[in-house]
Amino acid sequence: MLHLSLLYLGTVPKIYQNLEENDELYFIETLKTENLLQNFTQLLLLQKPCPRGWKTLDRKSWHQCVAEERGHLIEIQDLFKPNPDTQEEPQLVILEGAAGIGKSTLARQVRRAWEEGQLYRNRFQHVFYFSCRELAQCKQLSLAELIAKDQTVPVAPIRKILSQPKKLLFILDGIDEPAWVLKEQNPQLCLHWSQPQPVHRLLGSLLRKSMLPGASLLLTARTTALQKFIPSLWQPRWVEVLGFSESGWKEYFNKYFSEKSEAITAFSLVDSNPVLSTLCLVPWVSWLVCTCLKQQMEQGRDLSLTSQTTTALCLKYLSQTLPNHALGTHLRVLCSLAAEGICRRRTLFSKRDLYEQGLSEDVIATFLKMGVLQKQPSSQNYSFAQLCLQEFFAAMSCILGNNEEKCSDMENYRVVETLIEVYGRQDLFEAPTIRFLFGLLSEQGVNEMEKIFTTHLPLNTIWEILDKARALPQHQHLYSLGLFHCLYEIQKEELLTQVMHNLKREKACDPTDMTHPGFQTNVKHLVIQTDVELMVVTFCIKYCHHVKRLQLNGGGQHGQKPMAPRMVLSRWIPITDTSWKILFSTLEFTGTLEELDLSGNPVSLFALWSLRRTLRCSGCHLRTLWLVNCGLTSSHCVVLASLLRASSSLAELDLQLNDLGNHGVRLLCEELRNPACKLRILRLDKAPLSDQVMKKLRALEAKNPQLLISSTWKPHVMDPSKNMDGEEMDDNPNSFKWQRLQAEPFHPSPPDSPRDKHLEPLGTEDDFWGPTGPVATEVVDRESNLYRVQFPVPGSYHCPNTGLRFVVRRAVTIEIGFCSWSQHLDKTPLQHSHMVAGPLFDIKAEQGAVTAVYLPHFVALQEGQVDVSWFSVAHFQDHGMVLETPNRVEQHYTVLENPTFSPVGVLLRMIPAVRLFIPITSITLIYYHFNLKEVTLHLYLIPNDCTIRKAIDDEEMKFQFVRINKPPPLDSLYIGSRYTVSASKKLEIIPKELELCYRSPGESQLFSEIYAGHMSSDIKLKIRDKKHMNLIWKALLKPEDLRSALPMIPAAHKDAPALLHFVDQHREQLVARVTSVDPVLDKLHGAVLSEEEYEAVRAEATNQDKMRKLFSFSRSWTRACKDRVYQALKEIHPHLIMDLFEKSGGISVGS
């Protein structure tokens, strides 16, 4: 996952961040390493066209925001990056985000990185940082006085500083914290830098560009506070801070604890608690957790932290921090001070403010020592250690203040009205104070508060406050994240069930929640960006008994209108294994959920194993599972088969638009034979399957009449005047339905009669599978191994043959070249410290079009012997090689988000102690040369690298050898190990021993040659581990498996006149499946086609029409002309020709 890493802002590759002290550094280029920031923070930054909670826009503008690209992850150096469409640099960047998410830390790091020459040095000559909470203490300031307040500003005349406004950056941190109003249309704007003005008017002048219109601004604000600034903002760039990445909170622990052993102990404790580790993705919660654990370490106590909510963590922190209960009275005073500050939008307090509340010097010193309060270094003011901590104390004040004997219903109502006045009616549930209030009203919260304050808190009075808050009009925000957060904090089953039941009767049409009256009324939409939000929402779904179907990212059946009420969770950033773990762990106890749609989301092996564990739980009653276009391959089918065995309720499974392969479908067939299997409907792509597998499927249906196996997807023919549901659409391109059509990729929809529909069109093994089905790969230069693919719509595209996956945000053309590691890596010292872990690709794509690239690797992670931190991605550039730390490492992929392209591939850092014990996934390749006298086989054992496989294919094809497809070894093997080859018959095998090693595609590969003679019966081949003689692979070769070798040029046969030529025999398939016609025409020009014929074919609009036009001239072709056509097709589409040749039994053109 992409993250903010200030260490990467210089030219230092990411891999060097994780080196141990004794590791050697091999610098491939001259790198500047001095003055790097040490305490950097990894944060996720999401750039998007509009902010969350955008409510003041008109309907048309909001629809446009929804339909445009939904945002993409960026890094800190991209904040002021030019717009890719207009090439204009933004002058105003707004960092929005929830409370405690790290906005202020990020703002300070921007300033510090600029000071140290790592960031924006070429863009800005002066960068000024201002804390708005401190500026609010000033009544009036001129611009000159404002700049003078920045103590780190270099000594320079004010006129000189302001002479180049385009070189100035003003950072206004926490612009929403003070009580000022910046949106008022005040004509008395500040126009001169020397003119003193009220601070809010001065800042308003900067925002509205009446002063220094060329200057740039970076603002930080909470998401809920943006409404009051919107009228004042001028074409801002919106960036949401989402908190830590998965590795970010772990690194924070390492920075927090000075002793490495303490950091490891703390991390291990938290990592073992999925809920707690998820909460730690919020930076301020990580601070809270580390503080609690540090206190326990200092007190010599056993580490224990079982809190499940942020409120419970705060209470734990407070109970551990208090030296004794004698401070109870002063603690009440501190709560009152916090509440007063929240009501007046004050976060800084003078010593006089504390004295007036009755806090003495000693008490203040105690609170400072406890870490509850902190003294501002730039003034004599005090503040709470965290703003969220002040809001927590304010929530306690609401409860304690309403526990007096004089408290009445009117007093409770006034408390609620005060909170509404502070936070507003619309955003009441978004406010941290309200969420803390819910958490404190939980049973655990009340018990802890009674212990801390040694008082009794009657629940009936507390519930009256809560009822008042919920009973007020316009507070029942339908399926809003704010309400779900509040319900998660209280974790009161009775309340959750009641609220969710009430929401069932409401019509969801709040644009904040991605819902619109144009949608079905039984569908609820929520945008969730982080794993914390996913955990909160799925927790609440457990009590949403009327929701029968859950859909992730809207990737399901648009053409169908399901009657079952469903909830759609939209997520615009990549889904990690942690996300899957959170989702499936919640579903274990969601007894009413019957349908789960994960279509369109890349599903890892880890995700399938997690789902399998969920389906085994007695509380899970899923009946229907959609996994359409999830990037599943034959390797996933082992887990899918186990999944069928684990579930006692699953009746329908949709696996269409996945490249399961013959082997994968066979594995599913074995499980479907099990009488205990409850599956009744299985949807998968039948077209690519062999006749043998199709026979097995038909036999299964015949044996079990209740089982339906169908292929239901077909290409979507769309009427431009209608949407995906067949509804008439507005002609206006800004209309919501039109934008939705343009923005959303098509996903499969089941037809009325599934038995009558088949997957069309057919694809080849080099196709990329995406939202619209197969996308053909064109050959640009076969000798140079250069290919091109054009992705027509945004979405995820996966090529099973190469293992490459691209996630693109718009239509884009990508060129892919196969490279050799030996040409690049051998020139660097890293060949001795790193091992090749996957293919090397030379990828070229339009900058910014690719959201993520999944680079395949062959390291077996499931063995648990490899640390993912050893992985890196090598970029070979003109000035040398750079190693980049991937955003995440999955079972078969290394993922880069928002990548830059050059020759790239995966490397693994070799640790001396384990370098001989790296498990890898491997494949076996068998080739045969057939003639009437004898059969010769070539057997290879290689790492699972598509570039090596292709190089071997090409080499064997030169000598008329054809590959036989057999399953790979199931177990992981080890580089450098030796294996013996044997057969069931006394065959000559030379050599009988193979070493599993990595050799670049351009090098000669090791293989065993097997002489089978006249093969009249079956042959069993086996490979064993030489050291332990364990069987690691076996295959059965039958005489009918063999086909005559594909001739390089079709040869004449004695019976040739009785047979159709290849191009005539396969005319229909060639018309349908040839996707790159022009290169074929170029090869035929002059030799087969005249100039007029050449231009006539090229003039046709589609590839199919071009091929039909080409065949219209075939009546005049001689056999030699047809041979030339065959040769041209074979060079441009070799895998298609091989596929047609083998399906015809190897008998075409009289061969």
Mean pLDDT of 735-753: 31
Q: How confident is the model at residue 1149 (pLDDT cuts 50, 70, 90)?
A: very low
Report the C-alpha gap between 1092 and 992 in whole angstroms: 59
* Pair of tokens at residue 401: 């203040």
Report the C-alpha gap between 817 and 947 in whole angstroms: 10
The Cβ of residue 450 has, within 10 Å, a number of other Cβ atoms equal to 12
Helices marked H in 848-985 — which ranges?
946-958
Residue 743: left if φ>0, alpha if ψ -120 to 50, beta else—which one?
A: alpha
Q: What's the pLDDT at 208? A: 78
Q: What's the pLDDT at 411? A: 57
Report the C-alpha gap between 533 and 360 in whole angstroms: 42
Q: What's the pLDDT at 713? A: 53
CB distance 645 to 673 below 8 Å: no
Q: How confident is the model at residue 715 (pLDDT cuts 50, 70, 90)?
A: very low
Report the C-alpha gap between 803 and 816 in whole angstroms: 12
DSSP 8-state assignment for residue 910: P
Q: How confident is the model at residue 301 (pLDDT cuts 50, 70, 90)?
A: confident
* CA end-to-end span of the chain: 53
* Pair of tokens at residue 347: 């976060």
What is the torsional sign of CA 763, 766, 767, 770? positive
pLDDT in tens, 760-784: 333 456 778 888 878 888 888 877 8
Q: Closest Cα to residue 970, out of 936, 919, 1008?
A: 919
**CA triple 575-577-578, angle to 5 deg:** 90
Q: What's the pLDDT at 617? A: 84
Q: What's the pLDDT at 970? A: 79
Report the C-alpha gap between 659 and 684 in whole angstroms: 9
List for the chain the helix, strand, coil content (%; round to 5).
40, 20, 45
Helices marked H in 1099-1148 — which ranges?
1103-1112, 1119-1132, 1134-1143
- Give me the sheet containing 978-983, strands edge to edge: 993-995, 978-983, 1019-1025, 1031-1037
Q: Closest Cα to residue 1026, out of 976, 1060, 987?
A: 976
pLDDT above 60 for 1087: yes
The pTM assigned to this predicted structure is: 0.59
pLDDT above 90 for 478: no
Amino acid at 838: G
pLDDT above 70 for 151: no
DSSP 8-state assignment for residue 96: E
Q: What's the pLDDT at 1147? A: 44
Q: What's the pLDDT at 591? A: 65
Q: At what angle do helices 310-321 and 432-440 cross, to 10 degrees?
A: 70
Mean pLDDT of 866-895: 84
How many Cα neighbours within 13 Å face the side chain of 388? 23
pLDDT above 90 for 554: no
Q: Closest Cα to residue 893, out of 855, 864, 863, 943?
A: 855
pLDDT above 70 for 700: yes
Q: What's the pLDDT at 1069? A: 86
pLDDT in tens, 1048-1064: 434 433 333 345 688 88
Residues in Cβ contact with 1010 at an 8 Å cutoff, skipping those fewer than 6 apart:
936, 937, 938, 939, 981, 983, 987, 988, 989, 1021
Report the C-alpha gap between 1110 and 1129 in whole angstroms: 12
CB distance 253 to 286 below 8 Å: yes
Q: What's the pLDDT at 906? A: 93
CB distance 493 to 545 below 8 Å: no
Q: What's the pLDDT at 861? A: 81
pLDDT above 60 for 418: yes
* Pair of tokens at residue 136: 């609010």
Instruction: Look at residue 173 and give its three-state secondary structure.
Output: strand
Lowest-confidence region among 230-244, 292-306, 843-857: 230-244
Q: What's the pLDDT at 519? A: 35
Q: What's the pLDDT at 217? A: 92
**CA triple 898-287-423, angle to 5 deg:** 85
Report the C-alpha gap between 814 and 842 in whole angstroms: 10
Residue predicted with more confidence, 1120 or 1108: 1108
pLDDT above 80 for 265: yes
Lowest-confidence region among 13-27, 311-325, 878-892: 13-27
Report the C-alpha gap between 663 and 224 in whole angstroms: 53
Q: Which residue has the tokens 């009051």?
A: 228
Q: What's the pLDDT at 55? A: 45
CB distance 602 to 575 below 8 Å: yes
Q: How confident is the model at residue 723 (pLDDT cuts 50, 70, 90)?
A: very low
Residue predicted with more confidence, 1001 or 1150: 1001
Residues in the chain: 1151
Helices marked H in 168-245 — which ranges?
199-207
How many Cα neighbours within 13 Å face the side chain of 430? 21
Report the C-alpha gap between 511 and 526 in whole angstroms: 10
Q: What's the pLDDT at 736? A: 29
Q: What's the pLDDT at 784? A: 81
Q: What's the pLDDT at 503? A: 66
pLDDT above 60 for 403: no
Q: How confident is the model at residue 1120 (pLDDT cuts 50, 70, 90)?
A: confident
Q: How confident is the model at residue 619 (pLDDT cuts 50, 70, 90)?
A: confident
User: Percent of the chain scored above 70 by pLDDT?
Assistant: 76
* Pair of tokens at residue 92: 């105003």
Question: Residue 806 forms beta bridges with which residues?
Answer: 797, 853
Cα–Cα distances in Å, from 958 out to 80, 765, 898, 952, 1048?
54, 21, 40, 10, 8
Q: What's the pLDDT at 740? A: 29
Lowest-confidence region among 15-19, 724-728, 946-950: 15-19
Residue predicted with more confidence, 890 or 405: 890
pLDDT in tens, 335-362: 989 988 888 888 889 888 898 888 888 8
Q: What are phi and psi of 789, to 5 degrees?
A: -135, 140
Q: Cis peptide before 991, with omega less than 30 degrees from 0? A: yes
Instruction: Look at residue 668 and give its three-state secondary structure.
Output: helix
pLDDT above 50 for 114: yes
CB distance 158 to 144 below 8 Å: yes
Q: How confident is the model at residue 982 (pLDDT cuts 50, 70, 90)?
A: very high
Q: How confident is the model at residue 966 (pLDDT cuts 50, 70, 90)?
A: confident
Q: How confident is the model at residue 23 (pLDDT cuts 50, 70, 90)?
A: very low
pLDDT above 50 for 853: yes
**CA triple 304-307-312, angle to 5 deg:** 125
Q: What's the pLDDT at 442? A: 87
Alpha carbon 116 to chain centroid, angstroms: 32
pLDDT above 90 for 854: yes
Q: How confident is the model at residue 49 (pLDDT cuts 50, 70, 90)?
A: confident
Q: Which residue has the tokens 């800190």?
A: 76
* Pair of tokens at residue 1150: 């009289």
Mean pLDDT of 415-420: 71
CB distance 634 to 605 below 8 Å: no
Residue predicted with more confidence, 737 or 193: 193
Report the C-alpha gap between 484 and 490 in whole angstroms: 10
- By CB atoms closer than 10 A (0-12, 13-18, 19+), residue 1087 is exposed
* Pair of tokens at residue 406: 């004089």
* Pair of tokens at residue 971: 């177990």
Report the C-alpha gap between 1150 and 706 in whole angstroms: 46
Lowest-confidence region among 188-197, 646-655, 781-790, 1142-1151: 1142-1151
Q: Share the mean pLDDT of the chain.
A: 76
Report the C-alpha gap between 552 and 568 in whole angstroms: 6
* Pair of tokens at residue 1083: 């090869």
Q: What's the pLDDT at 310? A: 94
Q: How confident is the model at residue 589 (pLDDT cuts 50, 70, 90)?
A: low
Instruction: Look at residue 701 and give its three-state secondary structure.
Output: helix
pLDDT above 90 for 72: no
Q: What are phi and psi of 616, to 5 degrees?
A: -80, -15
Residues in Cβ contact with 854 at an 8 Å cutoff, skipping those fewer than 6 apart:
602, 798, 803, 804, 805, 806, 807, 890, 893, 894, 895
Instruction: Look at residue 285 and give its three-state secondary structure.
Output: helix
Q: How confident is the model at residue 77 (pLDDT cuts 50, 70, 90)?
A: confident
Q: What's the pLDDT at 842? A: 92
Report the C-alpha gap between 485 and 683 in whole angstroms: 38
Cα–Cα distances in Å, from 886 out to 460, 471, 894?
53, 49, 6
User: Percent of the chain scored above 90 by pLDDT?
Assistant: 15
Report the C-alpha gap between 677 and 15 in whole angstroms: 47
Report the C-alpha gap between 618 and 907 in whole angstroms: 43
Q: Which stretches does DSSP call E strand in 727-879?
A: 768-770, 773-775, 777-781, 786-791, 795-798, 805-808, 812-819, 834-844, 850-856, 871-877
Highest mean pLDDT pick, 189-198, 754-763, 1112-1121: 1112-1121
